[in-house]
Amino acid sequence: MNKKIGIRSLLLSMVAVSFVGISAVQAEGLKIGYIDVKSAMENTADHQRGMKRLQALQDQKVKELQALGGKISQQEKDLLGQSMAMSPDRLAQKQQELKAMRTDFQRKQQDAQEALQAEQNRLQMSIGSKFEKVVGSYGKKGGFDMIIAKPVTLYINPKHDITADITKLLDAEK
């Protein structure tokens, strides 16, 4: 019975080795490329322009918030310095105005964050849709069987890196 198990194991091993051999032969004919997606997208002219727009928007929002923050700060100082001389009604009114200014500041801060996030999303969507189109076209024209994203794999021979080609094509795409 041990001989049968031994022969069976040997036959199964041989069949398994032959399948691996066939897969290796088939894999040799595959044309595979890989892309560092982040690098390909971030190095495009569109992305660079978009980041400048995003930075300008952020700078504008920061200025607006700093101006409002300065007003709030000044109101707090004025209120603190004059509170003893004010009537209780006037003091309550000034405190209410200050509270409204703080609430407005928080709203504007949240609006600014949402506007920046929306602009960043638009940029990513715009480049992302071009990216898919360019990679698909590049893969078909280049006869690739597979194009994979670099971060997904542990090792890829650098000769298969097509990141620079994709970045150039993305820049050429209008």
Q: Where are the domains of the chain?
A: 1-30, 31-172
> For the segment 68-89, what is each residue's pLDDT rounded down to a tens digit?
999 999 999 988 888 788 888 9
In whole angstroms, what is the distance from residue 82 CA to residue 24 CA? 85
Distance CA 68, CA 65 (A): 5
pTM beyond 0.85: no
Contact 170, 41 (CB under 8 A): yes
CATH for 31-172 is 3.30.910
CA distance 170 to 174: 8
Q: Which residues contact 58 (CB under 8 A, 6 or more apart)?
A: 116
The string of pLDDT tens digits covering residues 97-142 is: 999 999 999 999 999 999 999 999 999 999 988 888 899 899 999 9
